[in-house]
Amino acid sequence: MITSFNRSPDGSIARDLSTEEMAKAIDRSGGLLWVDLEGADAAEARPILERVFHFHHLAVDDCLNPHVDTPKIDDYGDYLFIIAQGIHFHARSERLETTELDLFLGPNYVVSLHSHRLAAVDDVRRRAGEDGPLAGRGADFLVHALLDGLVDQFQPVLEEMDQVVDGLKVAVPKELFEGVLERIGRLCPLPG
C-alpha cells in the first residue's frame, strides 16, 4: 500500500499523489510531502525511490533487502537515510517480532518504508490527516513523530513480556529459574 500526503506552502492538502505530482512537490520549497510505502514490493517501491526521489542505490538496496538491518543513520548530503526498528510481542507464541522502518528525511519530504503495519505509523498518518500541528510542521518534525511513536510502542511490549516471565517464575522451581536467569544474563549482559 502506497499512501502520500502533501501540504503545499499555501496550506492546501492533497493525498494519494501520482509520481509526477510527487516530483513537483519535491521541487517546491516549503510545504511537506510524506510518502509511505507499507508492504510495497520492489517493483512498486524501486521506481519511486530511484526515479522520483533519486535516492542512492545502497540506501534503496537496504530498504528492499529481506534482512532486518541494524538501526543507523546515513548522511547523503541532500537527505538522511534512517533505519529504525518497531517491535511486537506475540504472547501466545511467546515470539518477539521486529519490523524495520526505513526513513528518508529531505528538506521538505519524508519517505517511509516498512514491510508490515506499524501502529506508530498509523497514528502519525491519522494525526497528519487531521490538519493539526503535525501537518503544519516540517519534515524533521514528522520523522521525530514517527521515531517517537516507535519508542512509545516499546513499553507495552516490555510489560507484556514481563508478564510472561512472571508466569515462568511461578511455573519453574526457584533454583532452576535462577540458574536460567544467570545463563541469560551471561548471554545478554545489560549495558553499563
pLDDT digits over 106-161, tens only? Answer: 999 999 999 988 888 998 888 877 666 666 688 999 999 999 999 888 777 777 77
Share of the chain above pLDDT 70, in %: 82
Q: What is the pLDDT of residue 190?
A: 54
Q: What is the pLDDT of residue 33?
A: 93
Q: Is the dihedral of CA 141, 146, 157, 178 positive or negative?
A: negative
Domain borders along the chain are 2-154
Confidence band for 60, pLDDT divided at 50, 70 and 90: very high
**Angstrom distance (rounded) from CA 115 to CA 107:** 25
Q: What is the pLDDT of residue 128?
A: 79
Mean pLDDT of 32-61: 95
At 7-29, the pLDDT tens digits run 888 888 888 999 999 999 998 88
Look at residues 174, 24, 44, 38 and name the one whose alpha carbon lies nearest to residue 108. Answer: 24
- b/e map 142-152, b = 16+ CB within 10 Å: bbebbbebbee
Lowest mean pLDDT among 32-46, 62-76, 132-146, 152-166: 152-166
pTM of full prediction above 0.85 = no
Asked if residue 130 lies in contact with residue 124, where contact means CB atoms within 8 angstroms, the answer is: no
CATH architecture of the domain 2-154 equals 2-Layer Sandwich (3.30)
Lowest mean pLDDT among 70-74, 87-91, 103-107: 87-91
